[in-house]
Chains A and B, each alone.
Chain A
Amino acid sequence: MSTDVFGAHVYERAREIVSRYPEGRERSALLPLLHLVQAEQGHVSPAGSAFCAEVLGLTRAQVAAVATFYTMYKRRPTGDWLISVCTNTMCGVLGGDRTFEALREHLGVGHDETTEDGTFTLEHAECLAACDYGPVLTVNYEYFDRVQADEALRIVAALRAGERPPPSRGARLCTLREMSMQLAGYADEREGALADGPPGEPTLAGARLAQQHGISVPGFDPDTPIKEPAPAEPGHVPPPTAPEPAADRKPAGEPPAKDKRKAR
């Protein structure tokens, strides 16, 4: 029955996805397959569940039990732009709560609801693992850092005007369906998208500070043998300085090739 909805190319992709997992362990492909049907339809429909069930030899109930467990599988059609505002504690106190309220008022929809024109779906998200950039929101899972309510409204206005505002990190925006293909395990084919988004200052803060002050960890000798001789006496604590040079000890195997490119 699902052949009516999903063409031969979707079956072909499903076979590719299943082949990533060990033989006899095909069920591991269920999460990527659910992302795949979401890429086709924008949500996991009954037909989408049936497709996964058919490919994996499961019942539709078994598939639905999994699909309903995970937040990212949407059971209703989603908008072109899924806006997820972090309202966990840190982003919440830094402005996320106000941003969510402002968007709710502006868009006229609540959590997990889509605007009537099908453009935006709004949700409040749990911690998005970007607390050093807080408050954050994501549009189709790309991050916009340090976003307060006014900036969030500007992003929405730009999207509504047909623009694609550049995220703070990660790649340029794509549709939720394109994103779902990547979630299903496919590479991002867009020219240059992989290189988008240089790391922000919070990511580099500690490393930069160390660099500015000329700090490095002393005693690093990449030729230190892997098999180290036992300490001279039990309970002997090595000094917290550089280890002895490797000259008097036999390496455990062949030394690493000096020219790293040679072996390729």
Chain B
Amino acid sequence: MSAVTTPSADALAQLTPVLTKRWLSPEAWRLEVYETLDGYAALRKALAAHPDDLIQLVKDSGLRGRGGAGFPAGMKWGFIPQEPDGQQPSKPHYLVVNADEGEPGTCKDLPLMMTDPHSLIEGIIIASYAIRAHQAFIYVRGEAVHAARRLRHAVAEARRAGYLGRNILDSGFDLDVVVHSGAGAYICGEETALLDSLEGFRGQPRLRPPFPATHGLYASPTVVNNVETIATVPYIVLGGSQWFRSMGTEKSPGPKIFSVSGRVNNPGQYECALGTTLRQLIELAGGMQDGHRLRFWTPGGSSTPLLTDEHLDVPMDFEGMMAAGTLLGTTAVQVFSDADCPVYAAYRWMEFYHHESCGKCTPCREGNYWMKQVLWRILTGRGTHEDLDTLLDACDNLLGRAFCALGDGAAAPVMSSIQYFKQDYLDYIEGRTAPMFAPDPEAEALVGAYR
């Protein structure tokens, strides 16, 4: 086995064990254990405060959405129209938790729900109280039955203990939570597609405006937040916004769970301050595996443009990643080495987007279908120089021309791999690299193409 390197003091200083700390306690998923570890202390504190003060607290903390887009959570909560105190709103408000984790590379929410489901439920109660919602839903990815199982148990425990249901802890506040399993569709991670799916339809994104804050679930005011965002809230309620801002950078404050996978010695979940660099993350993950040198990586899943070994020291916060021409996304750091082929990577991801495109927008439905075939043609040794132009042309027609971010995401790996690794493409096209896959002699070069 390869030698595991010890991280430097500089890298260790980036660790911020906040959300992940309780994961070390065996059976923290049980209510009785959770309660011995400060569980539901934040809820008691929050229920004694005015809901508007909680919204202000989350605004002051600078917490930004952890599901990829980085929208300020407090602002999202503040968009929910509120009646004066004591008056019932004409339409009910809803909180919907996006637990449809599926962005390639992302694997932070499932372990959180497995090891510490009550932290999510506590966050849900606080957030619902703040936005005056009395019904919340957790939309869990269908395949993640192991996490849904623990969540359903935690909801039942919380209800028995009086943390959910009517008149929670004698506060007069009522809330019910339903754990709703999806059925295998990546697009349902997009918030408006998720809402359509939760309403019992095909998961297809909606045109915005109107935004979910006024016309969300059942055309009612709705906040949709990622699991990690909501699970962060109890810590802000306890520690305050200034403490929260002691981590991370000014515009991207707080801790963040970085999911490191691939050619490192110890892949896993590393909770670090936003602004941590890839160099530090690789150190924390025990260094690169023997015989592997970093070649390319995703900062936040396959929908964020690839970076290379030139970007080892770029701070991984929302601003730093944008400045480097990519996005922070879900901080799903997939580390690939010189043993891995960027053309293959683009092809596999394009297969993914082709499979997961909901079919609503033509550029995404058709563009991914063609790009997947063109990439296959290149990998089977039949590519042409024109193919590179075709790919970039298809990306140009896709980027910014679809209802939702899936289309933009699909263009990311193709455009960035051609930007940084054009030579790899040319080596296949000009025959210097042997085909990765044998062509199927039965199949046409491109199904349905002119030639």
Contacts and interface: CB of A to CB of B under 8 A. Distances in A.
B180 to A, nearest CB: 7
A20 interface: yes
A40 B79 CA distance: 43
A9 interface: no
29 contacts: A28-B200, A31-B181, A65-B202, A66-B202, A70-B184, A84-B143, A126-B352, A134-B267, A141-B142, A141-B143, A142-B146, A170-B149, A199-B114, A203-B269, A204-B20, A205-B269, A206-B269, A208-B24, A209-B7, A209-B15, A210-B271, A211-B17, A217-B18, A226-B54, A226-B57, A226-B237, A226-B240, A243-B243, A252-B49
Interface stretch (B208-216, B257-265, B312-320, B425-433): B257-265
Nearest to A87: B348
Interface stretch (B35-43, B371-379, B381-389, B403-411): B35-43
Given A30-B200, A169-B146, A170-B145, 13 more contacts: A22-B92, A72-B143, A89-B348, A92-B348, A93-B336, A141-B142, A194-B149, A202-B266, A206-B270, A213-B15, A221-B240, A222-B42, A228-B241
A224 interface: yes
A198 B30 CA distance: 13
A120 interface: no
B178 A20 contact: yes
Contact of A238 (B18, B38, B245): B245
B285 interface: yes
A198 B185 CA distance: 28
Interface string A56-85: 100000000110011111000000000010
Interface string B186-203: 100000000001111111
B414 interface: no
A203 B268 contact: yes
A89 B347 CA distance: 8
Contacts of B20: 204, 206-207
> Lowest 7 CB-CB distances: which A-B pairs, in order?
A253-B48, A205-B268, A170-B146, A71-B184, A224-B240, A202-B268, A30-B200
Interface of B: 7, 12-13, 15-18, 20-21, 23-24, 26-27, 35, 38-42, 44-50, 53-54, 56-57, 60, 92, 101-107, 109-111, 114-115, 135, 141-146, 148-150, 152-153, 156, 161-162, 169-170, 178-186, 197-203, 218, 237-243, 245-247, 250, 255, 257-262, 266-272, 284-285, 302, 332, 334, 336, 339-340, 344-345, 348-349, 352, 355-356, 358
Residue of A127, A171, A183, A203 contacting most chain B CB atoms (<10 Å):
A127
A243 to B, nearest CB: 5
A119 interface: no
A228 B242 contact: yes
Nearest to B11: A209
A125 B184 CA distance: 10
A221 B239 contact: yes
Interface residues of A, number: 100
Contacts of B105: 90, 127, 131
A88 B110 CA distance: 18
Contacts of A87: 348
Residue of B35, B237, B262, B268 contacting most chain A CB atoms (<10 Å):
B268
A56 B200 CA distance: 10
Contacts of A34: 183
Contacts of A243: 240, 242-243
Contacts of B349: 88-89
B181 A185 contact: yes
Contact of B269 (A73, A195, A202, A253): A202
A69 B203 contact: yes
Contacts of B42: 222
A184 B6 CA distance: 46
A138 interface: yes
A65 B16 CA distance: 46
B218 to A, nearest CB: 6
Interface string A106-134: 00000000000000000001111111111
Contact of B106 (A73, A129, A203, A220): A129
Chain B contact surface mostly: mixed
A21 B153 CA distance: 19
A247 interface: no
Interface string A173-214: 000000100111101100001110111011111111111010
A210 B17 contact: yes
A169 B29 CA distance: 14
B117 to A, nearest CB: 11
Interface in A245-264: 251-257, 260-261, 263-264
A48 interface: no
A263 B92 CA distance: 29
Contacts of A27: 199-201
Given A89-B345, A187-B153, A28 B198 contact: yes
B379 to A, nearest CB: 12
Contacts of B49: 226-227, 252-253
Contact of B104 (A88, A185, A211): A88
Contacts of B156: 187
A203 B143 contact: no
Contact of A69 (B15, B40, B202, B302): B202
A1 interface: no
Nearest to B48: A253
Contacts of B271: 206-207, 210
Nearest to A96: B348
B4 to A, nearest CB: 11
